[in-house]
Amino acid sequence: MRILDIAWTAWFGIVAAAVASFAGVVADRLPRGESIVSGPSRCRNCGRRLGALDLVPVAGYLLRRGRCPVCRSRVPVVYPLTEGAAAAAVVAACQLLGPVLGGVLGIGLLLAATACVAGVAGWWGRRRRRPAADPPTR
């Protein structure tokens, strides 16, 4: 494998992990009615704003050993697993289809999946926040 192929494959793997991380933010925030673009990520337990190291997909989780550095509460393992699985899938696509075609198709599918997650999470959040209808009167 040429060095340029390795570089493209690594780049698409990193981008895939970042897209999966954003999909996790979408799935987490939209049902609660929170913005997905404004407001920094915070520890759910103590409210500490996450730093740059905490936000690096997979690596941030591993470096912090899956815990908030302030309150030591556990970070759900689903986040790094999702990010790692997305990166692995795109790297596999790069190996099967070539680095550029596999990477572009893989990232495109992840973006489409993120849009689906946003749609479902947004719908679910609106459904949960909607006040109950008045019972029919006779």
What residues does each domain of the chain span?
7-126
pTM, two decimal places:
0.77
Q: How does pLDDT run along the chain (138 residues), one tens digit per residue?
A: 688 888 888 888 888 888 888 888 888 887 888 888 888 888 888 888 888 888 888 888 999 999 988 899 998 888 888 888 888 888 888 888 888 888 888 888 888 887 777 777 766 666 665 555 555 565
pLDDT at 130: 55
* End-to-end Cα spacing for the chain: 75
For position 82, what pLDDT does the model report? Answer: 86
DSSP string, the chain: --HHHHHHHHHHHHHHHHHHHHHHHHHHHGGGT--SSSS--B-TTT-PBP-TGGGSTTHHHHHTTTB-TTT-PBPPTHHHHHHHHHHHHHHHHHHHH-HHHHHHHHHHHHHHHHHHHHHHHHHHHHHHHSPPPPPPP-
